[in-house]
Amino acid sequence: MEIALSIDGRALTVEKGTSLLQAARQYGLYIPTLCDYPGLPASGSCRMCIVEIQGRANTPTACTTPAENGMIVQTHSLKVQALRRELLQLLLAEHPAGCLVCPENSACDECMVTVRKLGATTGCRTCPKDQQCGLQEMVEKLGIEQLDYPMRYRMLKVKKNDPFFDRDYNLCIQCGRCVRACEHLHFTSSLAYTKRGSELVVGTAFNHTHLQTDCNFCGTCLEVCPTGALTEKTRKWDGTPQAETISTCPLCSLGCQLRLLSKNEQVIGSLPAAQPGVEPLCVKGRFGITELVNHPTRLHHPQKTVGSHRMQIPWAEAIRMAAEKLAECPPGQFEMRISASASTEDLYVAQKFTDQVMHSQRFVVPAVARYGGGLAQVAALLARAQPPAVLAQAQTLLCLGFDGRYAQSVIDMKIRQAKTAGEVRLVTLHPHTHSLSRNADLWLRPQPGEEADCIAHLTAALINPPPAEPQDLYARAAHLLHGPGPRVVVVGAHFLTHPANQLLLPAAAALAEHLHAALVILPEEGNLAGALLLGATMLPPAAEPAVRYCIGETAPGEPLGQTFCIYQNLYPPNAADPADLLLPAAAFSETAGSLVDAGGLVQAFQPAVPPPGAAEPAWQTLGRIARQLGAPGFDFASSAEIQVELAARLGGYELHQRVSHRAPVGAAQAPSSTTAVPYPTAHTYLGFPLSQWVEGLTMLVADEEVNRV
């Protein structure tokens, strides 16, 4: 039903149930707001959107007042504007904002001679959110030139004992955006209002740290906060970004889209490409990237190892040295070790180099060792996998060995969102307490190591539903899973890397087939699908090669071994790891490239900043070495040229398209041994535990172990 009303003299027609604020916005009319945020329910707490309605004595908030037929509304009358200014004055009386009205506030930045953002914020010029603040914007819009009330500073202790962000509730205006975002966008409710009246403060239950709550550090609360109350620890010093670049997170296989913020040729932040809550990020993509790519230990120039020292050398010398060693290397005595987080371009050129220049079969992606005897099954599942977006429509869900608390919290959020929106049935199978245990309608909990029995019982119950026995878990699970479609089966890292994955994964595939369910496969490595596509296989252990080229991986073995080790990465190897020649690599944020995500989609990186020093992508270095060796076919000028060649070889490889050639090139060969080879697990990136570079993650890892039941 349509409603006709007038706002500021303009005749509007809107649907019944539309709020006055929505109605005004539909017609492009501006009403100031502070607590309103897209996707969050209206709360009416900031009272900036008050309006005057003819025939009513009060001035209600436009966000909470439904439009009614015949209403005559004034949004900027003298009375409303005067009240609005008064309300803003009252907000400012509890927000340290002396700088706003300081006659010399513009001179301050130039004269600021210390970092000044350590203690409590007492004014805009030392506030990490300066120039990005909702209150500053409102003060400007309403023309506040003086503060009418003395400042009431709340003297609350700044909370700094969580990783990734600090909370200074002395700056909080109690708009409640963070509280509502946590509840309605992330379905976590770690934050709430505590205490009452003038003592009211946003906080966690019992004043715990966020580590002790259900928080998974998605950072949505920081992004919606209009003030400097919530600030990212590593981003306090950088101010407003100069540029934004859309890119892809390489820290797991989900292929989440990032908005990289940059300033002065440095990445200063990473935010979800879309509006927060719509497609959020997990803790790694949201908070990990700046520390990872800006780490002070980054390699800037090539180095050679002389005795126990490392010496900086020019690129020309490094290329010459590598070419000399490679020219002497007998065929088959060369090994390429490359990370499953490397770009497809690096993987392809590395594979081509191994095959065509070095005539070696030893193209090693150590990460595949994690999958042991089940590698072929992982590849087969990946070939059938659907993008995680299918979760949004799902009505019936089965999660096998999936825990998204920190690493893949985006999936948790999608599942919780679906569950909140409608009658979604969720069955999980996991031996441990996991991120969805509280949300599941049924949690099948085998003893660790007995997952295969558990899935066999479940399959049996699904195929031959036993007579309804409310006590029988499997019967209940089968009943739930026979619920309405679309159905989705999610397979997480616990199943993918399980020692019995050779049994578990085909069983999972069979279950999905029986249920006509889409499969969502969630490995942890960013480009596992790309590596498998290029023929990464498990190779039986071989004798020490004469030359080993490591890209984003460290070399095994003793430093005194006879192998000449070329090492190319973002960081130097650990002191104990061998490396004779160190080459600096560009990070994903510094080069163009692509990866294949878990849904089979080719996702793109864009250079947001130039690489530090003389660093460059590995495919460029390999091209230079190949040319030095006189090998043809490596004259790639850009990642796009590599993609063209790759497309010809694979029968299609195009950015933002699903790879058409899904049958893995050579993954069918598995070694006889079925035990998984130890490989640094969870949160590994480019051969190192991610927490070595992103220090806050160490606090999460510790916490995860403590909480593991």
Partner 1 sequence: MFKILENKMLVPNLHQVTIAAPEIANAMAPGQFIILRTGEEGERIPLTVSDWDRSRGRITLVYQVVGKTTLALSEMEAGSSLPTVAGPLGNAMEIDYFGHVLCVGGCYGIASIYPIARALKEKGNRVTVVVEARSAYLLFWQEKLKSAADQMIVITRDGSKGLRGHISQLSRIIAGSPQAVDRLVVNGCNYLMMRAAQESRPLNIRTIVSLNTLMIDGTGMCGVCRLTVASSTRFACVDGPHFDGHEVNWDELAQRRKAYLSEEAQPFRSSKAQM
Residues in touch with partner 1 (CB under 8 A) = 96-104, 107-108, 110-111, 113-116, 118-120, 122-123, 146-147, 150-153, 155, 160-161, 163-164, 170, 233-234, 236-237, 287-288, 291, 294, 296, 694-699
CA angle 438, 442, 447 (to 5 degrees): 90
Task: Report strand pairing: 487-491 vs 396-400.
Answer: parallel
Report the residue number, 22 or 698, with the smaller CB distance to partner 1.
698
Nearer to partner 1, 74 or 234 (CB): 234
Per-position b or e across 89-121, b if 16+ CB within 10 A of its CB? bebbebbbbebbeeeeeeebeeeeeeeebeeeb
Q: Which is nearer to partner 1, 57 or 111 (CB)?
A: 111
CB of 116 to partner 1, least distance (A): 6
Could you tell me if 644 and 658 are in contact, meaning their C-beta atoms sit under 8 angstroms apart?
Answer: no
By beta-carbon proximity to partner 1, the closer residue of 62 and 260 is: 260
Question: CB of residue 147 vs partner 1: minimum separation in angstroms?
Answer: 4
- Write down the least CB distance from residue 600 to partner 1, Å: 32
CB of 198 to partner 1, least distance (A): 16
Nearby residues of 697 by Cβ (< 8 Å), 6 or more positions away: 163, 283, 284, 288, 683, 690, 691
Minimum distance from residue 266 beta carbon to partner 1 (Å): 10
Using the minimum distance from each CB to partner 1, give the nearer residue, 296 or 331: 296
Instruction: For partner 1, give the closer residue by CB, 58 or 146.
Output: 146
Minimum distance between the CB of residue 696 and partner 1, rounded to whole angstroms? 3
Instruction: Select 291 or 412, whichever has its Cβ closest to partner 1.
Output: 291
As measured in angstroms, the least distance from the Cβ of 111 to partner 1 is: 4
Residue ranges in 464-551 assigned as alpha helix (H)? 473-481, 493-496, 501-514, 528-533
Q: Minimal distance in Å, beta carbon 219 to partner 1? A: 11
What is the nearest approach in angstroms of partner 1 to the Cβ of residue 294? 8
How many residues in total does the chain contain? 709
How many alpha carbons fall within 13 Å on the CB side of residue 71?
Answer: 28
Q: How many Å apart are CA 11 and CA 5, to the nearest integer?
A: 6
Cβ closer to partner 1: 125 or 414?
125
Tell me whether strands 564-569 and 688-689 are parallel, antiparallel or unpaired. unpaired
Q: Which amino acid is at 208?
A: H
Instruction: Indicate the residue among 4 and 101 with the shorter CB distance to partner 1.
Output: 101
Minimum CB–partner distance for residue 214 and partner 1 (Å):
20
Which is nearest to 391 in space by CA: 374, 375, 407, 404? 404
Give the Cβ contact number of residue 224 at 10 Å.
26
Q: Which of 494, 524, 486 is nearest to 397 (CA)?
A: 486
Alpha carbons 245 and 268: distance in angstroms, whole number? 12
Contact 393, 696 (CB under 8 A): no
The C-alpha angle with vertex 20 and arms to 17 and 23, in degrees rounded to 5, equals: 80
For the CB of residue 693, give the shortest distance to partner 1 in the complex, in Å: 10
Identity of the residue, 288 or 612, whose beta carbon is nearer to partner 1 in the bound complex: 288
- Nearest approach in angstroms of CB 656 to partner 1 is 31
Query: Which CB, 151 or 648, lies closer to partner 1?
Result: 151
Tokens of 442: 């049924």
Q: Compute the least distance from the CB of residue 117 to partner 1, in Å.
A: 8
Residue nearer to partner 1 on the CB measure, 147 or 546: 147
Distance CA 317, CA 261 (A): 35
3-state secondary structure (DSSP) of residue 474: helix
Triad 286, 554, 317: Cα angle to 5°? 105
Separation of alpha carbons 236 and 222, rounded Å: 12
Give the nearer residue to partner 1 in terms of CB position, either 72 or 107: 107
Q: What DSSP element (H or E) covers 322?
A: helix 315-328
Specify the DSSP element, H or E, that contains 593: strand 593-596
Question: Is residue 529 a contact partner of residue 600, using CB atoms and an 8 Å limit?
Answer: yes
How many helices and strands (H and E) does the chain possess?
20, 27
CB of 174 to partner 1, least distance (A): 19
Task: Please choose, from the candidates 541, 457, 472, the residue with its C-alpha nearest in 3D space to the C-alpha of residue 507.
Answer: 457
User: With respect to partner 1, which residue has the nearer C-beta, 163 or 226?
Assistant: 163
d(CA 668, CA 674): 14
The per-residue DSSP string of 538-567 comes to -----SPPSEEEEESSPPPS-TTSS-EEEE
Q: Are 687 and 554 in contact (CB under 8 A)?
A: yes
Minimum distance of partner 1 from residue 239's CB (angstroms): 12
CA 205 – CA 191 distance, rounded (Å): 8
Instruction: Write out the two tokens for 509.
Output: 């595939």
Q: Is the dihedral of CA 674, 680, 681, 685 positive or negative?
A: negative
Longest dimension (CA), the chain: 93
- Rounded to 10°, the helix 315-328/618-628 angle is 60
CB of 703 to partner 1, least distance (A): 13
Q: Smaller CB distance to partner 1: residue 402 or 571?
A: 571
**CB of 161 or CB of 356, closer to partner 1:** 161
Question: For 669, what's the count of Cα atoms within 13 Å in the CB-facing half-sphere?
Answer: 8
